[in-house]
């Protein structure tokens, strides 16, 4: 469903779908599920960079999926996360989640 709404500009629907995906991965963090959704999550991250609530959920999803992802998918993540922090400096929750995700990248040697 998320792939159908990705480029339609329906932020509230995308937000609800991303929240649902976050909860599903939290309950059932299978490596195959994480690998399957990673490209879609990264595309969503690039498409909705102006929407901080979506980005918070995406940071959480990335941290859950991180152990199962190839480094090639995460090549630009550090720069993207820092850009999000610059775009939304007053959104403390997003800044914190970006920091947590950056630390997770460092901890798993995705530098």
Could you tell me the residue ranges of all domains in the chain?
2-107
Give pLDDT tens digits for 25-35: 888 767 777 78
3-state secondary structure the chain: CHHHHCCCCCHHHHHHHHHHHHHHHHHCCCHHHHHHHHHHHHHHHHHCCCCHHHHHHHHHHHHHHHHHCCHHHHCCHHHHHHHHHHHCCCCHHHHHHHHHHHHHHHHCCCC
Residue 101 pLDDT level (bands cut at 50, 70, 90):
very high
pTM, entire model:
0.89
């Amino acid at each position: 469903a998320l792939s159908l709404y990705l480029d339609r500009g329906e932020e509230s629907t995308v937000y609800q779908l991303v929240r649902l995906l976050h909860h599903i991965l939290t309950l059932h963090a299978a490596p195959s599920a994480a690998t399957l959704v990673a490209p879609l999550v990264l595309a969503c991250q690039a498409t909705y960079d102006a929407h901080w609530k979506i980005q918070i959920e995406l940071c959480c999803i990335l941290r859950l999926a991180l152990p199962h992802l190839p480094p090639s998918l995460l090549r630009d993540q550090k720069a993207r996360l820092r850009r999000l922090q610059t775009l939304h400096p007053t959104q403390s929750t997003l800044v914190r989640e970006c920091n947590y995700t950056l630390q997770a990248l460092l901890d798993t040697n995705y530098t």
